[in-house]
């Protein structure tokens, strides 16, 4: 608690699950996000199905998931994640500008970022989601 009786907003890192079907991208994201103090990477999955299966055990507060994945896309997975736990924030990522624009309008998606701008845009987006 602070002197004003409010709980400190940034005292605990945000629990993050990263999902991408490309192993090199997944490893790079895990490495980078693991160095960002505001996050604790609780897991990395290479499919939406794997992520959905891990939600209960990993208890992420936010899922960063690729739009384009085989079998279940990030767009399809977002409402499934929200159905399992409505408190989890879902952020989609893509290399395609049009997909990012569409994803930002989906009711089950809390945000979307272009993969090339991820380092610049993802931390501030998460700040806005958790500390409006």
User: In a 3-state reduction of DSSP, which class is residue 16?
Assistant: strand
Question: Are 62 and 51 in contact, with CB atoms under 8 Å apart?
Answer: no
pTM: 0.90
Mean pLDDT, consecutive 10-residue segments, the chain of 132 residues? 37 93 94 93 96 96 95 96 96 94 92 94 94 84
**Separation between Cα atoms, residue 45 and residue 49, nearest integer Å:** 9
CA atoms within 13 A on the CB side of 38: 15
pLDDT, residue 132, reads: 80
Q: Which candidate, 7, 97, 72, 71, places its Cα nearest to that of 63?
A: 72
């Amino acid at each position: 608690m602070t002197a004003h009786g409010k709980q400190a907003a940034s005292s605990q890192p945000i629990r993050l699950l990263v999902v991408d079907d490309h192993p090199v991208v997944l490893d790079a994201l895990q490495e980078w996000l693991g160095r960002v103090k505001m996050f604790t990477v609780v897991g990395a999955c290479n499919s939406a199905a794997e992520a959905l299966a891990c939600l209960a055990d990993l208890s992420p507060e936010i899922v960063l998931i690729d739009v384009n994945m085989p079998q279940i896309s990030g767009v399809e997975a977002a409402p499934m994640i929200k159905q399992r736990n409505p408190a989890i924030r879902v952020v989609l990522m893509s290399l395609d500008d049009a997909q990012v624009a569409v994803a930002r309008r989906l009711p089950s998606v809390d945000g979307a970022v272009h993969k090339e701008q991820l380092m610049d845009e993802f931390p501030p987006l998460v700040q806005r989601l958790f500390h409006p």
